[in-house]
Amino acid sequence: MKLPGTALGVCALMGLGLGCSSTQVRQAETLMGTVVEITAEGRDADLVQARVAAALAEIQRVDRLMSHYREDSEVSRINRGAGKAAVPVSPEVWEVITRALEISRLSAGAFDPTVGPLEELWNFSAAETPAEPPTAEALSRALAQVGWQKVKVDTAAGTVFLSQPGMRLDLGAVAKGWAVDRAILALKTPGVERALVNAGGDLRAFVRPGGKRWRIGLQDPRRPDSLLGEMEIENEAVATSGQYQRGFQINGRWFGHILDPRTGRPAEGTLSATAVAEECWKADAWATALFVLGPEQGWKVLSAAPGVEALVVSTDGQRHLTTGLAPRFRPASAE
Ligand code: AMP
Ligand code: MG
């Protein structure tokens, strides 16, 4: 099955029909380093358009708070305080960090929002590919500055402290999902009947009771212009992590941007990991965690995460589906 339009990990194939008097507004913008596409429907086109604009503004707002690339973000302020001071943060940033650390605990550290020093060392967004991967010595130096247990969150004071100098928070595996959730909240207002927010493969849908479901396609990690299969979703989120999305090649070997915090190197053994959950921050974080863990270890830790279903494609091309997702996933006919 060929993928229509730009390949974004997940794509909305189509709404299953549009209510007769409904208008559809669709807008795409590059935000948070990816293409964010919002589709929303309702009777009053102006009102729907205004809600889509509000949803896009929410994504920009979350990016300003949580991007470690922005000097003035709260995350950058926390990073500047590493080893020195507990930094007061807004309730929203506090909430995301607290939830991220909970996923770190549940995933036995496979998901770790303190991978910042390792990401800096690998520098996947560098203009030029390095001649060699980092040395073992450089990796162990960076690894010494990683560890979710060294993040001290003070609930009463509303502060976050990176307890060791050189530590750096990187919310890249959860903030996009959080932003999608905020965008859905902005859309879920009277006058909007159904909506879909897709931030480069991390998406969440909203449908009013009795409304039509969304049909989404999941990208085949081996052939990114083709689909692995599709599924229908209502009020839930789907996020996908894949090494093919970002990385570089050195001497014929691909190094992808999702790191295994236990080794400091790109996680191996997985081609893509998709997680389904009620909220997108959670699907986003689990997709990354499951990418690192693979299906065998992943399914074990998922037992402590009710409401999360998953599909993992391992490097041998095998598809692994949780029992809750298997009946809902329709493989592409070409398979
Ligand atoms: P995603 O595309 O959602 O899987 O997120 C990948 C991004 O999250 C990377 O570009 C890093 O910024 C960060 N990251 C990489 N490895 C991990 C990890 N094991 N746990 C948490 N965040 C990670
Ligand atoms: Mg993620």
- Two tokens, residue 120: 């800096």
Residue 218 neighbours by CB distance under 10 Å? 25
- Two tokens, residue 132: 């060699």
Cα(282) to centroid of ligand 2, in Å?
8
Q: Which of 292, 265, 69, 50 is nearest to 175 (CA)?
A: 69
Identify the residue whose C-alpha is closest to ligand 1 atom 18: 111
Residues lining ligand 1, Cβ inside 6 A: 111-113, 115, 119, 170, 172-173, 241, 257-259, 261, 284, 287-288, 292
Q: In 114-124, which positions are buried (b, 16+ CB within 10 angstroms) versus exposed (e)?
A: bbbbbbebbeb
State the closest ligand 1 atom to the C-alpha of 259, by its place in the atom list counted from 1. Answer: 16
Report the distance separating Cα 261 and Cα 247, nearest Å: 17
Mean pLDDT by 10 residues, the chain (335 residues): 40 49 94 96 96 98 96 98 98 97 98 97 89 95 98 96 98 98 97 97 96 95 92 97 87 91 96 97 98 97 96 96 97 72
The string of pLDDT tens digits covering residues 87-116 is 999 999 999 999 999 999 999 999 999 999
The string of pLDDT tens digits covering residues 126-177 is 888 888 999 999 999 999 999 999 999 999 999 999 999 999 999 999 999 9
Per-residue confidence (pLDDT) for residue 13, from 0 to 100 = 52
Identify the residue whose C-alpha is closest to ligand 1 atom 1: 173
84: left (phi over 0), alpha (psi -120 to 50) or beta: alpha
Identify the residue whose C-alpha is closest to ligand 1 atom 3: 173
Cα(46) to centroid of ligand 2, in Å?
33
Mutate-to-test residue for ligand 1 from 104, 112, 258, 274, highest number of ligand atoms within 8 A of CB: 258
Mutate-to-test residue for ligand 1 from 101, 288, 312, highest number of ligand atoms within 8 A of CB: 288
Q: What is the sign of the dihedral through the CA atoms of 229, 12, 5 and 128?
A: negative
pTM: 0.94
Per-residue confidence (pLDDT) for residue 122, from 0 to 100 = 95
Q: Which of 19, 22, 31, 42 is nearest to 212 (CA)?
A: 19
Cα 66 to Cα 10, 77, 166, 276, distances in angstroms: 24, 10, 18, 23
3-class DSSP state of 101: helix
3-class DSSP state of 163: coil
Cα(241) to centroid of ligand 1, in Å?
8
Cα(256) to centroid of ligand 2, in Å?
14
| Cα angle: 309, vertex 310, 316; to 5 degrees | 160
Identify the residue whose C-alpha is closest to ligand 1 atom 19: 111
Cα 228 to Cα 37, 108, 132, 199, distances in angstroms: 21, 29, 33, 19
